[in-house]
Amino acid sequence: MIVTTEQCTVVSITQNPIALIERAGRVCYKSEDKTCPGSGVKLVTKLIESGHESVLEHANMTVKVVCDRGISHEIVRHRLASYSQESTRYVTYDTGAVILPIFDDSSGNVPLDEQIGFDLLAGEGAFADLYTRLTSIELRWLFACLNDMRTYQTQIIDGVAPQMARANLPTCLKTEIFITMNMREWRHFILMRGGTGAHPQVALIADAIYRYLYSVNPVLVKNRVIQKPLPDCRIIKIKEEL
């Protein structure tokens, strides 16, 4: 079994989204003749401030996210998007991977610069080095996951179909999901999943999206901010595979 943390990779984004949004927006006002260097940012700012965000829907971005199944259930509640997700019906978890949870302010702070692997056949004594790295809550979680994965793999060996054996898999099972949203919906995602009441692990993803869009052009995330406190060592280093 592998213990890992969230990941986020941008795989596609509209080329020069500000220029596209400006071109679409100027059709509304028939002001194409006012296009000039720097005019795009000014117009997009005006559109957002006036609440005319439908024009932002012409630009989109696709991101591949690695998170746990529970967090993915929160993500797919955003209806105006397209999703393709790893299937527990067709994928057999010979090794299996889980996402380290954040239970409270004192948990989820273990730096995982690389994945940590565990032998499912080993006893609890094999994990002695973790007693100084994980909280008691995290240790109980770890051993519960190991038991779940052992049961799952035993059923697979016994001939149970993956779509049936998956009933043993924990909610923190690692999943991969492709997400495509337009810029208006990404702004809504940041607003909802970066708020103070958000789950900290989905807030990590919202934070990564926010920081990436800010790097493309700050106006794309105008009036948006991540309000949820996040553990420094779990901040996602977003990647690009464009």
User: pLDDT per residue over 136-183, tens digit each?
Assistant: 888 889 889 999 999 999 999 999 999 999 999 999 999 999 999 999
Q: Where are the domains of the chain?
A: 1-17+60-242
Task: Tell me how crowded residue 32 is: count the other CB atoms within 10 A of its CB.
Answer: 10
Provide DSSP, 39-74: HHHHHHHHHHHTT-GGGGGG-EEEEEEEEEHHHHHH
Q: Can you list the positions of beta strands (E) in the chain? A: 2-4, 7-13, 60-68, 82-85, 97-99, 116-117, 174-182, 239-240
**To which residue do tokens 């002695």 refer?**
128
- Specify the CATH number of the domain 1-17+60-242: 3.30.1360.170
Catalytic residue selected from 26, 69, 166, 193: 193
Residue 236 in tokens: 């996602």
Q: Is 166 marked active-site? A: no
pLDDT at 135: 80
DSSP count for the chain of H helices, then E strands:
7, 8
**To which residue do tokens 């995290």 refer?**
138
Closest CA to 63 of 51, 72, 50: 72
pLDDT in tens, the chain (242 residues): 888 899 999 999 999 999 999 999 999 999 999 999 999 999 999 999 999 999 999 999 999 999 999 999 999 999 999 999 999 999 999 888 999 899 876 555 555 555 666 665 566 566 666 666 778 888 889 889 999 999 999 999 999 999 999 999 999 999 999 999 999 999 999 999 999 999 999 999 999 999 999 999 999 999 999 999 988 878 999 999 99
Q: What is the pTM of this model?
A: 0.92
